[in-house]
Amino acid sequence: MRDALVRVHDGRIAAISNAAAATTPSDGTVVIDGSGLFLAPGLIDSHVHLNSIPGMTPEQQAKHPEIAKAARDQIPRSYLFFGFTTLIDLISAPEAMKRWKSRDIVPDTYFCGGAALMDGYPMNYSPKPQRYPGWPYMLIEPGGQAPDGIDPAMHTPEAVVSRMKADGAICVKTFFERGFGGVRNLPVPRLETIREVVKAAHAAGLLVLMHGSSDEAHRFGLDAGVDIMAHGLWNWSQQQSTTSEITPGIAKILDEEVAQDVGYQPTIQVLYGILDLFDDSFLSDPRLSRVLPQSLIDWYRSTEGQWFRIALSREQTPPATQKPAQPQRVQDDGLRRTMDRGKHAAAYVVARQARILFGTDTPSAPTYANQPGLNEWLEMGRLVDAGETPAQIFKSATLANAQALKLDKDIGTVEVGKRANLLLLRQDPTQTIDAYAAIVKVILNGRVLDPSELVANRTR
């Protein structure tokens, strides 16, 4: 709509009319002149993890409380700086959500409960027995040996889903992952288990998302009837094969995902989060200082801050030749082929009008190379590379995400009655993703935020 006048009241859009019909605003009304600019709905990332600081373990956070605090204060602003007014944390619980939302400026946030199979991915990464309290919604299958003090009846699909629902989750996150890198052969859930999760979730009005990046996992997700696959399909079972062109077997799975209208989050940038760790210029990228406190960037440069890069390079190097303190370059061939496969799979489903949803998995893994806000913008660039147009990206990050998450009553468009989560942009977002790289104003539930309040390393 050209020459629009959008009136916001009490955090919601109260009226939309032609600017020519404007009357003198009442006292106390803030007027923003948007002449020559574009007003768009705020963006939605339907796959983030807000409980962690990228690249910093809980022990490291405890050791460097000031850096950790600066990071936690900045992270919500960094998402907003790049236009993300709504986030979905795919693995959370009420207490963590409460902590996240306690900040003054924070995007609207919803969460899924993480229904991991007991001791399967990604629970396996936290040490026993402390891992169990951290996974209140884990699944224990019939015949599974429950840890001391845990009642398996509380961990059936029905029990887990009803507890999540009562806790305020809008979705269930499930996992099908046998492992990668140095961890393989993790237990995976049975098909009946996830079918029961889907049944219970749908009965309770919750969506089901599944972590899975392999053909086996995407097949499993289709058979289980999940609503959204939370990663692109980049791990193909013929790992030895050097092809990254879509094979008939991969095409069959992707075709079925399109036919069944499964939501598809390509999450291409996830793999760059590994590759970029080994790029020595990454930490000098000036864009990082817009989303991260300088103290954290400096810490990433330290030997301690390089821990994940060192761990990954050890995995890749035969023990006899290991030089632990000297990170080696990852074996690019394998990773690059995996990345090409992910990109080709994304291009394949984009070309077939799949239900592409914008989700980034920020920050995936303990890498420091997927940073809030910036990572979303970089993902957009990867999607353009894979053939998605800026207009399609705009839709997948706004209306399509809102509909998929059943939040379209409140967000996803500029429409009377919806929340005033808005972006004022210099460029047309249906024409270029650069529109989000220099936002004029971010409006969050009616509160007008200037980028200078959101950028990291603000000068007071």
List contacts with Zn ion (CB under 5 A): 361
Report d(CA 371, CA 378) in Å as an integer. 10
CB of 122 to Zn ion, least distance (A): 8
Tokens representing 219 are: 């097949």
CB of 91 to Zn ion, least distance (A): 7
121 vs 394, beta carbon nearer Zn ion: 121
CB of 341 to Zn ion, least distance (A): 19
67 vs 365, beta carbon nearer Zn ion: 365
13 vs 374, beta carbon nearer Zn ion: 374
41 vs 363, beta carbon nearer Zn ion: 363
299 vs 308, beta carbon nearer Zn ion: 308
108 vs 361, beta carbon nearer Zn ion: 361
Report d(CA 153, CA 172) in Å as an integer. 18
CB of 324 to Zn ion, least distance (A): 29
361 vs 435, beta carbon nearer Zn ion: 361
270 vs 423, beta carbon nearer Zn ion: 270
361 vs 388, beta carbon nearer Zn ion: 361
CB of 209 to Zn ion, least distance (A): 9
Residues sharing a CB contact under 8 Å with residue 152, sequence separation 6 or more, in sequence order? 140, 144, 146
Q: Three-state SS across 194-226?
A: HHHHHHHHHHCCCEEEEECCEHHHHHHHHHHCC
Report d(CA 380, CA 394) in Å as an integer. 9
CB of 201 to Zn ion, least distance (A): 18
175 vs 348, beta carbon nearer Zn ion: 175
CB of 360 to Zn ion, least distance (A): 9
**CA R_g for the chain:** 22
**Residue in the shown chain whose Cβ atom is closest to Zn ion:** 361
- Reported residue count of the chain is 460
Q: Give the other-Cβ count within 10 Å of 21's Cβ.
A: 9
CB of 92 to Zn ion, least distance (A): 11
CB of 435 to Zn ion, least distance (A): 26
CB of 274 to Zn ion, least distance (A): 14
